[in-house]
Amino acid sequence: MEILAKLAFALYALVIITGAIMAVTAKSLVRALVGLIGVMIGVAGMYLLMAAPFVAFMQILIYVGGVSVLIFFAIMLTKASPDGDESSPNSLRSTLNALVAMLAPGIILSVVILRYPPESFPRPTDVGAFDLGEGMLGPYLLPFELISIILFVAMAGAVLVAWRKWGDK
């Protein structure tokens, strides 16, 4: 089982990294989105591996089934061509900058984690939907409600931005 879990982890990590690279380097917007979807599916797999099936299914339901479809819709409304040359190739300098920006926190975090490994459970404990609901309406009520306010603000902001554009015409 130990080996199987490690294999699964490697597989999901591979999916996530490939997707992420594709999302960043693809010239076409839609291909970048496909990479992003790969990342989301891989992350859902990671949640499953951590014995959090509810979060994993929600990840697929909301991000793969909902958010990415909406992004797709937004792209379809633009005049992007299927050949995909929306972006000009990056200069060497900006590529190097991006690499440094990516590697710096990655290296620091991994060193910190390797030096001071956090205490982990021998096997992850499964938190059922019932406990999850109790938690969200009990001790975590305030953060839960705050998240909905953030979503509301984002939606209101999007409407406001669109409104201004209409006003210009």
Residues that bind other proteins in the complex, under the rule CB under 8 A: 1, 28, 30-31, 34, 37, 53-54, 57-58, 60-61, 64-66, 68-70, 72-73, 75-76, 82-84, 128-129
Considering the complex, state which of residue 83 and residue 168 has its C-beta at the smaller distance from other proteins. Answer: 83
Per the structure block, which two tokens stand in for 114? 């390797």
- CA distances, 39 to each of 45, 74, 104, 153 (Å): 10, 20, 21, 26
**11 Cβ contact partners less than 8 Å away, ≥ 6 residues apart:** 45
> Which residue, 16 or 35, has its beta carbon nearer to other proteins?
35
Report the residue number, 108 or 129, with the smaller CB distance to other proteins. Answer: 129
> φ and ψ at 50, to 5 degrees?
-85, 15
User: CB of 19 within 8 A of CB of 36?
Assistant: yes
Q: How far is the CB of 102 from other proteins (least distance, A)?
A: 25
Residue 37 CB, nearest distance to other proteins (Å)?
Answer: 7
Taking the complex as a whole, the smallest distance from the CB of residue 72 to other proteins amounts, in Å, to 4
- Tell the smallest beta-carbon distance from residue 73 to other proteins (Å): 5
* Closest C-alpha to 33, from 20, 48, 52, 43: 20
Please identify, using beta-carbon distances, which residue of 69 and 113 lies nearer to other proteins. 69
Distance of CA 143 to the CA centre of its chain: 20
